[in-house]
Amino acid sequence: TVSAEKIRATADLMVSTGLRDHGWMFVNIDDGWEAPKRAPNGEIQPNEKFPDMKALADYVHAKGLKLGIYSSPGPRTCGGYLGSYGHEYQDAATWAKWGIDYLKYDWCSYGRIAKDHSLPELQKPYRLMRKALDAVDRDIVYSLCQYGMGEVWKWGAQVGGNLWRTTGDITDTWESMSRIGFGQAELYPYAGPGHWNDPDMLVVGWVGWSEHLHRTRLTVNEQYTHISLWSLLSAPLLLGCDFSRLNAFTLNLLTNDEVLAVNQDPLGKQARRVLQKDDFQVWMKDLSDGSKAVGIFNLGEKRAEFALRWEKIGLARRQSVRDLWRQKDLGEFADEFRASVNRHGVVLIKVSPAE
């Protein structure tokens, strides 16, 4: 059901809701834009729902935004549309000509092409498209989507990826979101500027497929955990919700500049899990100004108190603390910081040595 009209409407909403002004930049077309057949010269063509892809890119760019597209290294995409197999250089040139800024390259049917699941075979199609993208005179962000096969985080940057999915698809449940998010703990060495671990999209707002949308099943506290954890992880923040149904709560979740600054911090470090105790996990991220972002997460089934001793996470005994969701200085704390954390919730703070 994706169409040029919907992409234009999404771009309009990214401006009118203020999302663009808080740093949300990409409007990405997923599967379903491709025509059933290529042109006689082999060029990939959009279907009737996208009558003029160049004009669409121009429209999105005029809004101060960027446009993304989707393909597969296999003959067919996951939705059964034409993939890029055998036309990699041609497709990259076509996308550049249209003005595309981002490519999600989804494994899909390439499983029938690959001889096996050895590293060379897993890497081969992604190396090839990297060469094709390098051959065009346009910067295109390159997203590897192959669900974490072959521990892609260890080699995604080597094959030229800018981000790589580390897991299968997320769903809007606590079980899925928490398993994926908290499961990223060992991946921090592989993230950095220009190459990121991607634990999949954000499942807030009205989510689902096609016209079958529903309000996210995550509770309010779980949504705070979701955005906080993805920000600490330096994860790509990708929205899969209906922008026309963004309520005030969801919009506030997505436009807190102090939380987004944690995600976008130029140092580009991914947070580490520095403490686990009972139902609590503490994650800490180094920031470019020398301070730390710290998430205190309660994975338990009831609200609980937690005392975070600075020495336990390697910090000096006296720290200044700012609550990032409330955008409020909490003062100086000697030795420890005590927080009451909701069920499945988080307290997200920024700490720096007190003078």
Residue among 31, 91, 106, 198 flagged as catalytic? 106
**Rg, Å, the chain Cα set:** 21
CA distance 202 to 224: 11
Alpha helices in the chain (DSSP H): 4-16, 53-62, 88-98, 119-134, 174-182, 220-232, 248-254, 257-264
106 is catalytic: yes
Residue labelled with tokens 């703070």: 349
Structure-block tokens of residue 196: 């990121």
Structure-block tokens of residue 167: 């897991």
Q: What is the DSSP letter of 34?
A: B
User: What residues contact 324, with CB distance under 8 A and at least 6 apart?
Assistant: 256, 258, 259, 262, 293, 348, 349, 350
Report yes or no: 73 and 129 within 8 Å, Cβ to Cβ. yes
Amino acid found at 347? V
Order of strands, edge to edge, in the sheet holding 163-165? 26-28, 66-71, 102-106, 141-145, 163-165, 196-198
CA distance 62 to 311: 51
- Please list, residue by residue across 125-135, b when 16 or more beta carbons sit within 10 angstroms of its beta carbon and e when fewer do: bbebbbebbee
Residue among 21, 58, 169, 278 flagged as catalytic? 169
DSSP letter string, 180-215: HHHTTGGGGGG-BTTBEEE---B--SEEEETTEEEE
Name the residues annotated as catalytic. Answer: 106, 169
